[in-house]
Amino acid sequence: MSNRRSRQSSSTLRISDDQMIDLVSKLRLLLPEIRERRRSDKVSASKVLQETCNYIRKLHREVDNLSDRLSQLLDSVDEDSQEAAVIRSLLM
Amino acid sequence: MASADKPINTDVPEKDVFALHFLQSLSNLRRQNAFNSPDDTTNNRVKKIKKAAYVSMARAAGGTNRLWSRALLRRAAKENNKVVIFSRRKKRVTWLRRSNRRDPVDAERLRNLLPGGGAMETSKLMEETAHYIKCLSMQVKVMQCLVDGLSAK
C-alpha cells in the first residue's frame, strides 16, 4: 500500500539536492533581510531558516496588530456611512 | 530512485481572492452580531477577527490542498468543537517525526511556527513554509489595505 508519493517520502528521507537548493533559494528570495544582502551568494541554510522563523514571527505580529486596529475601526463604522457602503458593495 | 525533479509549485492566488474571503468572514462575524453583544470584550473581538483572518487565509490559499492550511482549519474547527473530516489523499507519514530528530535546531523552530509543521518531512516543510509565507504576507497586505481604507477620512 504505497503510492508513489509515500514511497518517495518514506524511503528517501530527502528530496533531490536540486529540489532542495531550489526551495531554499526560493525561501531566500522571500526573505527581505537576505534579499538586500547581495554581495554574499553563500547564505548558510541555517541562516535562511533563522531568517524564515523571524519573518514568520514578524508576520504573525503584524496580523495581531492589524486585527487589533481592525477591531477598533470596524467598531466605529456606522451602518450608513460611506465605508459600510463600500464594503457592502464589495461583498455583493 | 530518481525522484522526478519537477519544479515545486508555491504559487498563491491573487490578492483579491484573499480579500474576498476575508471580507466574507468579517461580514459573517457581523451577522452573528459578534461585535455588538455586550458581554463581548474587546479582546474577544480582536481574537475573532484574528481567527477570521487565519481561517479565510487558509481557505483562500488552498483549503485542503496544503498541509498547513489543513492543519490551520482543523485547529480552528477544533476550537469550535466541530468534527472535521478531511479526505485522505495521501497516506500521512507521521512516523517520520521520530526520524526528524536529526534536524538542526532551526528546523525545529520552524516546525513549531508552521501550522502542522511537526508532522512534515523536512523537504515538505520547506515547500509548505514558502507557500505559507507568501500567503501570510498577502493576508497582511489585505488587512493593511482594509485598515487604510477604513481610517482614511
pLDDT digits (tens, 9 = 90+) for B108-134: 888 889 988 888 887 788 888 888 988
Q: What angle do CA B97, B129, A21 make, to 5 degrees?
A: 90
Per the CB < 8 Å rule, is B126 touching A24? yes
* Pairwise CA distance, residues B38 & B35, whole Å: 9
Question: Which amino acid type is present at position B14?
Answer: E
Interface membership of A43 toward B (CB under 8 Å) = no
User: Mutating which of B93, B126, B136, B148 best tests the A interface, going by the most A Cβ atoms within 10 A?
Assistant: B126
Share of chain B above pLDDT 90, in %: 10
Has residue B46 been placed in a domain?
yes
pLDDT band of residue B148 (cuts 50, 70, 90) is confident
Has residue B107 been placed in a domain?
no
Has residue B97 been placed in a domain?
no
ipTM: 0.79
Has residue B5 been placed in a domain?
no
Per the CB < 8 Å rule, is A74 touching B137? no
Task: Indicate the number of domains in chain B.
Answer: 1
Interface membership of A86 toward B (CB under 8 Å) = yes
Please give, rounded to a whole number of angstroms, the shortest distance from the CA of B86 to a CA of chain A: 18
Q: Which residue of A has its CA nearest to B140?
A: A63
- What local confidence, expressed as pLDDT, does residue A18 receive? 66
Determine the average pLDDT of the residues in A7-34: 60
Interface membership of A85 toward B (CB under 8 Å) = no
pLDDT at B32 > cutoff 50: yes
Q: Which domain holds residue B59?
A: 14-34+41-77+115-152
pLDDT digits (tens, 9 = 90+) for B34-63: 556 655 677 888 888 899 999 999 999 877
Has residue B103 been placed in a domain?
no
Has residue B2 been placed in a domain?
no
The pTM of this model reads 0.73
